[in-house]
Amino acid sequence: MIQIKTEKISRHPVNVILPTDYDSNKKYRTIYLQDGGNAAKQALNYIDHLIISRQIEPLILVGITPLDRNEEYTPWPARTPLSGETKSGGQAQAYLQLLVKEIKPFIDAHYATDPAPSHTAIGGCSFGGLISLLASYYYPEVFHDYIILSASFWYEKMDRFLSGEQITLEDHSF
């Protein structure tokens, strides 16, 4: 049976979902998921079935709950799409630093992960997909694979970023 453990790492609630027959002597692939892993939680029975029937290898899912997803999952401040008012945001780098320097090392130290980038993925939906894409871009030495669903590519200036332009905070004077 799948086990769900809840940790608190640097004020962030983190759900660690361990596979059926979890063995602390083995090393598991790990997927870091945004929004507490809600997308995976809805499919846990199916994921468990795939593992038990050996269609996929056992893995650990780590769901990180943001303190403020609009702040933590966005790369720079932007205007609100409908009103055009200045909106806060832009704490993605700080969140990614927390993920790479505190959350992942904690998980690797306390659970049977294979910490190699080739066994570490990141994923999310909407703003969670956006931050996961940014993680794969800024930290390819940490996250080898990524899963992005309906990522918020509409976010202001993402088209420029995706085409290779470097976006700086100076580009955001409102």
pLDDT value for 84: 60
Question: What domain range includes position 76?
Answer: 3-172
Amino acid at 117: P
pLDDT value for 174: 35
Q: What's the chain's Rg over C-alpha atoms? A: 17
Quick: pLDDT tens for 83-126.
Answer: 666 666 889 999 999 999 999 999 999 999 999 999 999 999 99
Quick: pLDDT tens for 22-67.
Answer: 999 999 999 999 999 888 888 888 999 999 999 999 999 999 999 9
pLDDT value for 88: 67
* CA 68 – CA 63 distance, rounded (Å): 15
Domains in the chain, number: 1
Task: Tell me which residue of 55, 34, 43 sits closest to 2, measured CA to CA.
Answer: 43
- Give the residue-averaged pLDDT of 137-149: 95
pLDDT value for 172: 47
pLDDT value for 156: 85
pLDDT value for 171: 52
Q: Is the predicted pLDDT of residue 169 greater than 60, yes or no?
A: no
Assign 173 to helix, strand or coil: coil
Confidence of residue 82 (pLDDT cuts 50, 70, 90): low
Q: Is the predicted pLDDT of residue 170 greater than 90, yes or no?
A: no
Q: What is the pTM of this model?
A: 0.91
Domain with residue 11: its CATH number is 3.40.50.1820
